[in-house]
Structure 1
């Protein structure tokens, strides 16, 4: 299974990511620090997040467009509030992020899992456990045309309706 560094490093023109859960990775130390009021700097001393931001910067410098869309419940969960806080760093690194309140997604056909699509050719499906942690075999790669078509069209439908990060206000 390729790493995110390898996937972003091999992307030629695009990487899109659709997130549809209201909570992820409750074990994340940065999330705990944020909840306790100890994370004023979104990048902080989180080496994993710093790595992610450098990979994004490298990819976007090569001309890869990285877009992330989030379908969220309103009022937002603590985790979504945390994501909103740290997303300013993602945007500075080159990601384009949008937010779609779940009630505005009712008539959209969405896959059952979060995913990435790279260069409109490769889908990375992410499987999470009920508590938001990545499942033991939580990453699956596919080039299946049906999956690719569903994921790509779902992402674009969400993207079209979603609010740009700089305009999205938490409830």
Structure 2
């Protein structure tokens, strides 16, 4: 039996979905990133031009009362990819996500897991694995209570030290 997808897990989610991102670069062949590198910038006033299926999923999830929080641990000065993420995060916020940024230098005292993850309703982890080049490789569903607890505590520690998207300015 195949593991459930993130979309399926979010559809079952009832209270909270948190996402911890800790890389300074992801799939560099992403068409949105490539367009951004070529100079394209989304116009926040032209919602139809930047609204994507992911944002619809987030809007539907948050409309059901699920709190969605995303925290990004980043190096400064920021990489081009993180600057790209920053530039498009207004769309995540518009869809109902709460997004925060934590400069890596402020994360030294936090026990961080080795991988990015989604934690749903404090019980199910979807762990994301990436290659050294930032390309997605695999994901796995983890329900081990000890691992879930470690990841939940790591996320909350990052969240408590991080800066809201509306207040953060990339260095």
Verify same fold: TM over 0.5.
Answer: yes
Structure 1 stretches lacking a partner, 5+ long: none
Residue of structure 2 equivalent to 1:165: 165
Could you state the TM-score of these two structures normalised by the residue count of structure 2?
0.93
Distance 2:68 2:115 in 1: 19
Distance 1:17 1:72 in 2: 14
Alignment of 1:29-108 (within 5 A): 29-41=31-43, 50-108=52-110
Residue of structure 1 equivalent to 2:141: 141
- Equivalent residue pairs, number: 167
Distance 1:68 1:150 in 2: 17
Q: Helix, strand or coil for the counterpart of 1:6?
A: helix
Q: Helix, strand or coil for the counterpart of 1:26?
A: coil
Structure 1 residue 152 displacement after superposition? 0.1
8 Å contact 1:22–1:79 — kept in the other structure? yes
1:39-67, Cα deviation, whole Å (9 max, x unpaired): 33477767xx7111011000100000000
8 Å contact 1:8–1:15 — kept in the other structure? yes
8 Å contact 1:15–1:118 — kept in the other structure? yes
Quick check: 1:150 aligned with 2:150?
A: yes
Distance 1:5 1:147 in 2: 22
State the Cα RMSD in Å: 1.5
Q: Helix, strand or coil for the counterpart of 2:156?
A: helix
Quick check: 1:21 aligned with 2:5?
A: no
Structure 1 residue 118 displacement after superposition? 0.1
1:19-58, Cα deviation, whole Å (9 max, x unpaired): 0000001110100100110233477767xx7111011000
Distance 2:6 2:123 in 1: 16
Q: 1:99 to 1:73 in 2, by over 3 A?
A: same
8 Å contact 2:27–2:134 — kept in the other structure? yes
8 Å contact 1:16–1:66 — kept in the other structure? yes
